[in-house]
Chains A and B, each alone.
Chain A
Amino acid sequence: MAEKTLFFHGIDYSILVIYFLFVVGIGFALKRHVKGSTDFFLSGRSIPAWITGLAFLSANLGAQEVIGMAASGAKYGIMTSHFYWVGAIPAMVFLGVFMMTFYYGSKARSVPEYLKLRFDEKTRCFNAVSFAVMTVFSSGISLYALAKLLELLLGWNFNFSVALSAGIVLVYIFLGGLTSAIYNEVLQFFMIVFGFAPLSYLAVRDAGGWAGLKEKLVGVATGAGFAPGTWTQSWGHLGSSHENPMGIEWFGLAMGLGFVLSFGYWCTDFLVVQRAMASHSLSGARRTPLIAAFPKMLLPFLVILPGMAAIALVHSGSGFTLPADAGGHSYNFNMVIPSLLVRYFPPGMLGLGFTALMASFMSGMAGNVTAFNTVWTYDLYQGYFAKDKSDAHYLWMGRMATVFGILVSVGAAYFASRFNNIMDLLQLVFAFVNAPLFATFLLGMFWRRTTGHGAFVGLLFGTGVAAFHHGLTLPIGEAVGVKGGWLGSVVHTYPSEMAQNFWTAIFAWTACFVATALVSLATRRNKTDEELRGLVYSMTPKPADADEPWYQKPVTLGIVALAATAVLNLVFA
C-alpha cells in the first residue's frame, strides 16, 4: 500500500515513551484507592462531572472514529457533520435531561441490570450476553487496526504492537479499574485536541483558508457528478438520495441516524453510560452527557475538516496525495489522518500527533474492556454463576475478567487479521441486535404498562426484522452476501450502504416498538407500581436540583446545547 513511512526522531520517541509512562503511572497511583468492587467497576461513584463528561466523550472518540470521520469528511464533505449535529447532540441531551435519572437513580450498576430491575431476567440476559460479546470483539478490532497502522507507518512488528498496546491497557485497568480508564480517557481527549488542532489548521491554511477550501471543493463535487456546493453545504442537497454522495435523503437521515441509531447508541450503550454512572451525584450524572455535548459539537472542526482539506488538496495539484485503496480504483480514505500527519508535521509535533492517534486506539480498547468486565462480573457471573460471594471476590473476578477480556481481544485481533469477512459478519449481527434497543428503553422508561415479556419479544422481533430487511435489500453495485440480499431475492436496492443501514435501523426500531407495545397489552404486568419507583417516568419524583445555580441545571445546559447545535446546522446548511 503506502510506501511513505513515518520517520521518528528522538524527540518523537521521547513523547511516545513519556505518554506510555504516564498512562501506566496513573494506574499505579490509583491502585491504592481501589478497595472494593464499587471502586473498581463504578469508580466508587465519586468522580466530578467535568471528568466524567470528558470521559463520556472520549470513550466514543476511539481511533476508528477519528480516522473514520476524517475519511467521511473526504468522501462526503461537510454532510459528515450530521453524525455530530444531528446524530449525537440531541441524543446526549435526551440522556442527560430525561434518562439518566432512571439509570443513576435506580442504583443499577449497569445497563443490563437496569433491564433486570425494570423488566425481567431474560431481557437482562439477552442484553448482557450480546453486549459482552460485542465489546470484546470491538476491543479486538481496535487492537488489530492499531497494530496494522503501526506496521504500515513505523514498520513495527505486528505481534510486538499487539503485545505492547494490550499490555499497557491491561496494566492500567487491572490496577485502577474504571477510574484508571476514565482518567486516561480525559488525558486522551486533551491529547487529541492538542495533536489534531494544529493539523486541521495547517491543512485548511494550505488549502487557502475556508474560502479557498470551498472553492477547491466545488471541483471535487462537480467531478463526482454532484452540484457545486455538495461538499460544503450540510443540508442543501438532501432533497433526494441521488443529490449527494451519502445516498440518503433528509427523512432517512433524520429518522435513521438522528433518531434510531443515535439514541440507540448514546442512550443505551453501557460503554458510554458507565462513565456517567461513575459520577458523584445524580446531578453530576445528568450533567455528564450535557457537558460532553459542548466539545462534541466542535469535534467536526478537528476531525472532519482535515478530511475535507485533504481531498481538496489532492484535487488541486498541491503535491499532496492519498494512497490508493486495495482495489486501486479509489483512494484509501482511512489514510487521510496519517498522510496529513506525515505531510505537515515536523519532528516534535509529529510525535505528539502520532501519540494522540495511538492514545485514541488504546482508550477505545480500554473503554470496551471496562464495560466488559463490569457486565461480565455483575450481570453474568454474579447473576448466574456465583450469587452470594464477598465483595472482595467480585473485585478479584473483575480483575480476572480484565485479563480474560484482553486475552480474547488479542485473539480477536489475530482472528481479524486472518478472517476479515467473518469479522464483518459479526459486526453485522451486532448491528441487528442494537438497532431495536432504543424502542425497548423508551417504552420501558415512559410507559409503565410495558411488561417483561413485551420487552423480550420486542427485542427478538426487532432483531429479526433487522436481519430480514437486510437480507432482502442491497446497496447499489454490491454483490449478494454480507452486504445484503442473502434471503434469495432483492426487493429493494439502496443508493448506498449507509442508506441501507439507516433504513434497516428504522424498520427494526418500528418493529420492536409495535411488538413490545402489543405483547405488553396482551400480557399481565410483572412489576407493581411500587417496584417501578425510580425506574419509570410517571413513578419517579422529579429530581430535585434546586441546590445548584440555574446555569448548572441539566435543563438549562440541554437547551443551550440544542440551541448552539441549531446555529451550527444553520451556519453550514
Chain B
Amino acid sequence: MNFDLRLPLGLIFSLFGALLAIYGLISDPAIYARSLGLNVNLGWGLVMLAFGLIMFGLAWRARLKRM
C-alpha cells in the first residue's frame, strides 16, 4: 500500500496558505491595486489553508479507521 496522498496535499496547501496569508498581512497594501483592491494573498491564502487542514483531517480519520 502506498502512503496516503492526502498527507502531502494537506502539508503543501497548508504551507502555501499560511505563507500567502502571512504575506498578505505584512505586505504593502499598495500592491493590491492591480488585484482590484482585494488582498488576494490573505483571502485566498486562508482558503488554501482551510483546504490543507481538511485534507489532513481526512487522512487522520482514514488512519484511525484502519487501526
A contact residues vs B (CB 8 Å cutoff): 11, 14-15, 18-19, 22, 25-26, 29-30, 33, 43-44, 46-47, 51, 179, 183, 186-187, 190, 194, 198, 202, 205-206, 343-349, 352
Contacts and interface: CB of A to CB of B under 8 A. Distances in A.
Interface string B13-49: 1011001100110010001101110101100110110
15 contacts: A18-B12, A19-B12, A190-B9, A194-B13, A194-B16, A194-B47, A345-B34, A346-B31, A346-B32, A347-B31, A348-B23, A348-B27, A348-B45, A349-B40, A349-B41
A318 B67 CA distance: 59
B19 A345 contact: no
Contact of B36 (A19, A202, A347): A202
A186 B5 contact: yes
A46 B3 CA distance: 11
Given A186-B5, A348-B40, A352-B16, 6 more contacts: A22-B11, A198-B40, A344-B34, A344-B35, A346-B40, A348-B23
Given A15-B16, A348-B24, A349-B41, A30 B2 contact: yes
B64 interface: no
Contact of B44 (A44, A46, A47, A198): A198
A205 B36 contact: yes
Contacts, number: 86
Contacts of A46: 1-2
B44 A187 contact: no
Contacts of B34: 343-346
B41 to A, nearest CB: 4
B8 interface: yes
Classify chain B: how many residues form its interface, as a range. 20 to 34
A450 to B, nearest CB: 38
Nearest to B24: A348
B23 A186 contact: no
Contact of B2 (A18, A33, A344, A348): A33
Contacts of B3: 29-30, 33
B36 A346 contact: no
B40 to A, nearest CB: 5
Among A183, A205, A344, A346, the one with the most B-chain Cβ atoms within 10 Å of its Cβ is: A346
B2 A190 contact: no
A51 B2 CA distance: 12
Majority SS at the chain B contact face = helix
A25 B2 CA distance: 14
Nearest to A348: B41
Contact of A51 (B5, B11, B13, B19): B5
Contacts of A186: 5, 9
A482 to B, nearest CB: 41
Contacts of A344: 34-36
A388 B23 CA distance: 58
A187 B8 contact: yes
Contacts of A205: 36
Contact of A183 (B8, B15, B16, B51): B8
Contacts of B1: 33, 46
Contacts of B48: 194
A44 B2 CA distance: 9
- The 10 A-B residue pairs with the shortest CB-CB distance, nearest first, are A348-B41, A346-B31, A348-B23, A349-B40, A348-B20, A22-B12, A33-B2, A11-B23, A183-B5, A198-B44
Contacts of A347: 23, 27, 31
A349 B39 CA distance: 10
B21 to A, nearest CB: 9
A190 B13 contact: yes
Contacts of A187: 8-9, 12
B8 A349 contact: no
Contacts of A352: 16, 20
A15 B16 CA distance: 7
A68 B67 CA distance: 47
B9 to A, nearest CB: 7
Given A345-B35, A346-B31, A352-B16, A202 B5 contact: no
B40 A43 contact: no
B40 A202 contact: yes
A264 B38 CA distance: 44
B19 A15 contact: yes
A307 B50 CA distance: 29
A345 B16 contact: no
Contacts of B19: 11, 14-15, 348
A349 B12 contact: no
B7 to A, nearest CB: 9
Contacts of B38: 202
Contacts of A22: 8, 11-12
A26 B5 CA distance: 9
B44 to A, nearest CB: 5
Nearest to B33: A346
A162 B47 CA distance: 33
Contacts of A206: 36
A344 B38 CA distance: 10
B35 A349 contact: yes
A544 B31 CA distance: 58
A183 B2 CA distance: 10
Given A19-B12, A22-B12, A346 B2 contact: no
Contacts of B41: 346, 348-349
A350 to B, nearest CB: 10
Contacts of B8: 22, 25-26, 29, 183, 187
A25 B11 CA distance: 12
Given A26-B8, A194-B44, A198-B44, A43 B2 contact: yes
A187 B3 CA distance: 14
B39 to A, nearest CB: 9
